[in-house]
Amino acid sequence: MMMKVFRSLFCVCVLFVLTLAAAAQSRNAAIEKEIRRLDLEAANAVLNKDEKAIARFFTSDSVTNNPRNGLTRGSAGVIDAAKSGLINYYSFDRTVESVQVLGNTVVVMGNETVVVKNREGGPGNTVRRRYTNVWMKTGKKWQIFARHASIICR
């Protein structure tokens, strides 16, 4: 009799653990889908120099290791780079290759291709680069708090 109780209790525990694992997997899949969407929207905000969207996607204390071999600090730094023409693109295509959900932090990796406008506004170079964006949930929204972008050598 006691053995049946232990078996039943064991089965209940296993089912409970499996249910929790399935719920976590489902939650992570939903977060991944949302972050993939936001990551593409963030690229579009930079392409369009949309200051409100940039401020929404980047934390005020974020840091970007930019492809110009420097650091850009905070959403204000990204906005300033766009205003000054350091960020000035005809097109910005981003391909998300990996999304790693780690609780309230998500690491996104992939590649980007930008067509750069030169200072005179004429056609520029096509630049391919690798990128990593680290998203963190702040309050009820996801924001980038760290970014790295490196140009891929030809």
pLDDT per position in the chain (154 positions), as tens?
Answer: 666 655 655 544 444 444 545 555 667 899 999 999 999 999 999 999 999 999 999 999 999 998 888 899 999 999 999 998 888 999 999 999 999 999 999 999 999 999 998 765 566 788 999 999 999 998 899 999 999 999 997 6
- Return the CATH number of the domain spanning residue range 2-151: 3.10.450.50
Q: Kind and range of the H or E element at 22?
A: helix 2-47
In angstroms, the Cα distances linking 58 to 27, 63, 84, 137, 151 are 23, 9, 18, 11, 21
The domain locations on the chain are 2-151
Token output for 7: 């078996």
Question: Dihedral (C-alpha) 72, 73, 78, 84: value to the nearest 10 degrees?
Answer: -70
Contact between 112 and 92 (Cβ < 8 Å):
yes
